[in-house]
């Protein structure tokens, strides 16, 4: 069946694109000048996810939700995961579908945790971090232990990289 999305594809994510509530990984962000409802140009933030080619125009509601989950610094959001959903909202005097970020951190699967940890470990080696050999995790460790060690390692890697 042909949908409106097929006839008029958007360069940005739409509520239709997230109907199945995908959990996505924040990859990057940028800004783009676009026209608002009044036809005036304004700069809007665009956030990109590893799982989609198209970016999402980041509104204040979703930005505040992500900031509540991961802090106010956009660079700290990179690599973090969020779940998107399609909801009906009142906007500009009418009901319409919109994308919303669910206000809970998605649980990380162990493979993702181990992959993120390995990348962090490699950053520590590249930065010649002292004591890097003491930070070892194994696939049989509980997820909460991997997360705890990863947080400690992240702080030390960032400190090493800043010198």
Q: Is the domain of 94 the same as that of 120?
A: no
Structure tokens given for 99: 């994308």
Q: Is the domain of 41 the same as that of 81?
A: yes
Q: Is the domain of 29 the same as that of 52?
A: yes
Q: Is the domain of 15 the same as that of 67?
A: yes
Structure tokens given for 51: 């799982």
What is the 8-class DSSP label of residue 142?
-
Q: Is the domain of 14 the same as that of 81?
A: yes
> How far is 79 from 159, CA to CA, in rounded Å?
19
What is the 8-class DSSP label of residue 54?
S
How many degrees, rounded to 5, is the angle at CA 28 between CA 56 and CA 99? Answer: 20
Q: Is the domain of 79 the same as that of 27?
A: yes
Give the pLDDT confidence of 118-158 residue by residue, as tens digits: 999 999 999 999 999 999 898 898 888 888 899 899 989 98
What is the 8-class DSSP label of residue 39?
S
Q: Is the domain of 14 the same as that of 64?
A: yes
Q: List the end-to-end C-alpha distance of the chain, in Å, as a whole number.
A: 57
Q: Is the domain of 140 the same as that of 60?
A: no
SS3 135: coil
128: domain range? 110-161
Q: Is the domain of 88 the same as that of 132?
A: no
Give the pLDDT confidence of 53-90 residue by residue, as tens digits: 999 999 999 999 999 999 999 999 998 999 999 999 98
Question: What's this model's pTM, rounded to 2 decimal places?
Answer: 0.68
């Amino acid at each position: 069946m042909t949908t409106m999305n097929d006839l008029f594809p958007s360069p940005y994510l739409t509520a239709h694109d997230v109907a199945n509530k995908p959990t996505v990984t924040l990859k990057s962000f940028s800004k783009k000048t676009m026209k608002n409802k009044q036809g005036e140009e304004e700069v809007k933030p665009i956030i990109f996810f590893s799982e989609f080619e198209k970016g999402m125009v980041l509104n204040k509601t979703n930005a505040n939700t992500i900031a509540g989950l991961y802090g106010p610094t956009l660079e700290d959001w990179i690599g973090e995961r969020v779940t998107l959903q399609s909801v009906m909202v009142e906007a500009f005097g009418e009901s319409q579908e919109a994308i919303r970020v669910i206000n809970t951190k998605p649980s990380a699967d162990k493979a993702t945790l181990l992959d993120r940890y390995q990348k962090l470990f490699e950053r520590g080696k590249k930065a010649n971090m002292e004591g890097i050999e003491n930070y070892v995790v194994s696939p049989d460790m509980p997820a909460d232990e991997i997360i705890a060690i990863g947080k400690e390692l992240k702080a030390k890697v960032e400190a090493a990289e800043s010198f």
